[in-house]
Structure 1
Amino acid sequence: MSEEIFDEYEEYEEGPSKTQIKREMQALQDMGKKILGLSADQQKQLPLSDDMYAAIDEYRRIRSHEAQRRHLQYVGKVMRREDVDAISEKLALFDTTSDAYNRQFHKLEHWRDRLVAEGDKALNELMAEKPDADRQSLRQLIRTAQKEQSQNKPPAAARKIFRKLREIYDL
């Protein structure tokens, strides 16, 4: 008789537990909350569906705290249909404490330093990687940065190059 009870118990043990499902739903809701906390420009960079953008717009219109809490649950429900992995990768680039952000930041610093040091050679490599970049304005900034560096002036043009690189790499 004890084997029959054990066999029945195994049938119910197949899927995730109710607690695990609740944790996953809470994680999606938390991710939705992070998305709602981003600026509109950052939200546009995320791979979100039209339903999610509509939910974000609706959340912005709501003023009541309780209504916002309920709508946040709806956002969590919409998140179930989103590509969570792609969104979390992009979100990591916005989080200044994440490893992904730091790697991207160091990559841009490296590009800036190479552009100032090597000039057109590094610019050609950058253009091969990012052909949509504005070669003319980058070349002008590089020359200005090199001139500032040779005259021991503050690196204003180098900062502009870095900002331009952030635009090119969508950060």
Structure 2
Amino acid sequence: MSQDSPRELLEQLIQQQPDDDERPSKSQLKREMHALQALGEAIIAMTPAERARFPLSDDMLAAVEETARVRSHEGRRRHMQYVGKVMRREDLEAIRAVYAEIEQETLRRDHAFHRLEKWRDRLLEEGDAAVEAFIADFPDVDRQALRQLIRNAQRERERNKPPASARKLFRLIRDTAGL
């Protein structure tokens, strides 16, 4: 199967609608089927809350639920072919829109976590100047807990101990930022 992401495969599939006067080649049909299977696998891999956002038919929802019961490798392969077949009848434009929306939310969440990780690293490396900058950005933070966690994390780092306080510091930063 192709190494493209399900979104790329879906976009290719939508763009490759054949002309009325020309039948698609067997290879083209296979590529489309693999793209639909990959999209089905991506939907199956999502959380139930994310999956609920997709405009899926009852047949597709049943196929998704059935996937959890399939144990054997060959059975799963055949079932994924069935999922691809059922995907042919779905509204691909609407599915693509929801998939893109979920992908954007994931990117935003990842960027937010990277910013929080940078704050944690900055607090541990720069000390009081970074603490004052953090307090200026987030005035509701528990200052005493913040300073205590920074001191504990710095000690852990010096002694090459597991970063338990650094994790607690990250949680405090995340909760303060409201993520």
Deviation at 1:66, TM superposition (A): 0.9
> Which of 44, 52, 64 pairs up with 1:56?
64
- 1:93-104 alignment runs, 5 A limit: 93-95=101-103, 101-102=106-107, 104=108
CA RMSD between the two structures: 3.4
Deviations 1:6-42 (A, max 9, x none): xxxxxxx722222212211110011011111122222
Equivalent residues of 1:148, 1:155 under 8 A apart: no
**Counterpart in the other structure of 2:33:** 25
> Which of 79, 88, 110 pairs up with 2:96?
88
* C-alpha distance 92-69 of structure 1, shift in aligned 2 (>3 A): same
1:147 aligns with 2:137: no
Q: Which amino acid aligns with 2:141?
A: E
* C-alpha distance 157-62 of structure 1, shift in aligned 2 (>3 A): same
Deviations 1:89-124 (A, max 9, x none): 3333444xxx6743x549989xxxxxxxxxxxxxxx
Structure 2: how far apart are the matches of 1:74 and 1:106?
A: 33
Give the aligned length.
Answer: 114
- 1:7-46 alignment runs, 5 A limit: 14-46=22-54
**Counterpart in the other structure of 1:123:** none
1:66 aligns with 2:74: yes
* C-alpha distance 53-147 of structure 1, shift in aligned 2 (>3 A): same
Structure 2: how far apart are the matches of 1:38 and 1:32?
A: 10
- Identity percentage over the alignment? 42
Structure 1: how far apart are the matches of 2:48 and 2:35?
A: 22
Structure 2: how far apart are the matches of 1:29 and 1:40?
A: 19
Unaligned 5+ segments in structure 2 are 1-20, 114-137, 147-168
* C-alpha distance 41-26 of structure 1, shift in aligned 2 (>3 A): same
Structure 1: how far apart are the matches of 2:111 and 2:45?
A: 26
Unaligned 5+ segments in structure 1 are 1-12, 110-144, 164-171
